[in-house]
């Protein structure tokens, strides 16, 4: 499955939800998916990420569902695979 298949359709048509950095990874395969497991990056910014995926290129993308700000998507650095891959 590719990252574009995992993301909600609304995200792919709304440029305010994902940036160009994330768009570069839309055709990358997903290595594994996690639900209700802490996102590898820590801090208050990431506390509402309950679903995230590791990509085969070493990045992780988290789906942040903030009650205050709505959906946002966070792209991690490749060193996440070393900890969770």
> What is residue 84's predicted lDDT score, i.e. its pLDDT?
59
Q: Quick one: which of 40, 48, 35 has its CA closest to 81?
A: 40
- Provide the residue-wise pLDDT of the chain in tens; the chain has 85 residues: 999 999 998 888 888 878 888 899 999 999 999 998 777 766 666 778 889 999 999 899 998 888 888 888 888 878 765 665 5
Between the alpha carbon of residue 19 and those of residues 25, 29, 34, 82, 84, the distances in Å are 11, 19, 22, 25, 25
Q: Where would I find the H helices in the chain?
A: 3-6, 9-13, 20-23, 80-84
> What is residue 14's predicted lDDT score, i.e. its pLDDT?
82
Question: Where are the extended beta strands (E) located within the chain?
Answer: 30-35, 49-55, 60-66, 70-75
> What is residue 70's predicted lDDT score, i.e. its pLDDT?
83
């Amino acid at each position: 499955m590719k990252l574009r298949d995992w993301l909600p359709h609304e995200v792919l048509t709304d440029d305010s939800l994902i940036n160009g950095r994330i768009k570069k990874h839309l055709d990358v395969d997903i290595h594994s998916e996690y639900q209700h497991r802490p996102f590898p990056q820590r801090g208050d910014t990431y506390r509402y990420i309950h679903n995230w995926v590791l990509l085969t290129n070493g990045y992780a993308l988290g789906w942040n569902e903030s009650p205050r700000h709505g959906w946002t998507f966070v792209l991690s650095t490749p060193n996440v695979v070393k900890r969770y891959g």
